[in-house]
Amino acid sequence: MGQLSPRQVALLASGIVTLFGAVLLGVGIQVFSGQSSMAWYLLLLAVLFAAAYGAFSFGIERFIHSRIKVLYKTVHQLRRGRKEKETTEVEGDVLELVNAEVNEWASARRTEISELHEREKFRREFIGNLAHELKTPIFNIQGYILTLLEGGLEDDKVNRDFLNRASNGVDRLMKIVEDLDLITKLESGVMDLNVVRTDLHEVVRAAIEELDLQASERGVQLKNELAEPTWVMADRDRLAQVFSNLLTNAINYGKEGGKCRVRSYPLGDQVVVEVKDDGIGISAEHLPRLFERFYRVGKSRARNEGGSGLGLAIVKHIIDAHQQTITVNSTEGKGTTFNFTLQRGQ
């Protein structure tokens, strides 16, 4: 029969109380009427009724519970996506278990629906931002070509200048496509990292040398304050991309005469890398979304001609691919600091 549930115990108690009441009724009739045969007859009927009631109620309860147990076990197996042994017994009050299971299922569905809404919102924003990023260089290229077709091609002072501008627009389109392709590969795990012992100082030196002209034009000094050498375990090419994007970000949003310093300090078996500038900074409300694709921070951070809007998103994906973490701290008007970890090289 198995262990009785609280509901079944209550039904048995109800039957016992009914039987006890029937006995009292029969005794009362016998005492007050003086007709013993009639009293015993009524008492017999009452006892039979009570017994029938108790047996019927208990049987119905057991029947319903047995069917609910089958349904519960079936739903329980389907929810977990596996076939459990048929001999598995359901212990406790099955109705309470069903109620708990339904509440758990409803809570999971609410969470899932909320996540789907967030994903849909992100998808709409991403498509809108991507369309805007692509539209700007396409419209510029279209304008330059139309000007050339309408007579500018014959003007030696105009044709080369407009062709160069159109070429820059094509370069920006290619940059956006290449960056999107890189993020897709990093997310899907298709791109394998070539993690080797790498001198961090040398990687930063090369990145600063590549960006020196751009930094000079904006009046921003790039400082490599890493010890020489500083060994880490990383993919050199991807790490170079991280510093290129972070330093470019510091140049674009730095102030004239400002500085951007690259430092590091040990933390256990890791190295913490700090890229700190004294530029325009970022308000706290934007920091949680700073690594999203195409996310822009206010009017002060306009879409620069050479940027793809994917630089910081790529940085985040590369650091994640190294199974490390990156954080950002910033204060408006005082500058921004990026910190990320790398495995220390032996």
pLDDT at 7 over 50: yes
- According to CATH, the superfamily of the domain at 195-344 is Histidine kinase-like ATPase, C-terminal domain (3.30.565.10)
Task: Please write the tens of the pLDDT for every residue from 297-344.
Answer: 654 444 444 456 778 888 998 999 899 999 999 988 889 999 999 999
Burial 285-302 (b: 16+ CB within 10 A, else e): ebeeebbbbbbbbeeebe
pLDDT at 5 > cutoff 60: no
The architecture that CATH gives domain 119-188 is Orthogonal Bundle (1.10)
pLDDT at 270 over 90: yes
Domain 119-188 and domain 195-344 have a common topology: no
Q: 106 exposed, middle or buried (CB, 10 Å; 0-12, 13-18, 19+)?
A: exposed
Q: What is the pTM of this model?
A: 0.59
Whole-angstrom distance, CA of residue 292 vs CA of residue 68:
48
pLDDT band of residue 233 (cuts 50, 70, 90) is: very high
Over residues 149-155, the mean pLDDT reads 77
Higher pLDDT: 329 or 256? It is 329
**CA 202, CA 205: separation in Å to the nearest integer?**
5
Residue of 29 and 295 predicted with greater confidence: 295
- Integer angstrom CA distances of residue 316 from 245, 254, 323: 11, 21, 11
Domain ranges of the chain: 6-92, 119-188, 195-344
Q: What is the pLDDT of residues 182-225, one digit of tens each?
A: 777 777 777 778 899 999 999 999 999 999 988 998 899 999 99
